[in-house]
Amino acid sequence: MTYEELVVRVRELYENADAREVFEHVAIQINLEGEVTGAFYIEVANREVCVEPYTYYDRDILVTLNSGLLEDILDGRVKYKDAVEGGLISIKGDLYKYELMKKIKLRSRRKTRASKKTNG
């Protein structure tokens, strides 16, 4: 998978996310290492989530992981929580703001796949 494809997959994951419980601005930069390298960010502003393929210099949190691991997480082969607990993901910065991100409710993967089948 390419850098651009990974960013699109993360954007799709967050496109209909419910961030109504996040009342503060949060910016997380994701650094990819391994076969695919690059940076993108996830930002919560005005209780909406945005994913963009750029470096976020004034970020609250920096997350670093292998691009293959990100693919495995997106495909459901690895749980994000397990990767963090196993030390496979580096998280640096404002841990309070990192915890706020847990309040975001994502669409279920099943609904995402089902809606793609019915829409296209």
Domain chopping of the chain, boundaries: 3-109
Distance CA 2, CA 13 (A): 17
Q: Which CATH architecture has domain 3-109?
A: 2-Layer Sandwich (3.30)
Pair 43, 10: CB distance under 8 Å: no
Q: What is the pLDDT of residue 115?
A: 44
Half-sphere exposure of 72 (CA within 13 A, CB side): 14
Task: Give per-10-residue mean pLDDT for the chain (120 aa).
Answer: 96 94 97 97 96 97 98 96 97 96 80 46
End-to-end alpha carbon distance in the chain: 22
pTM: 0.85
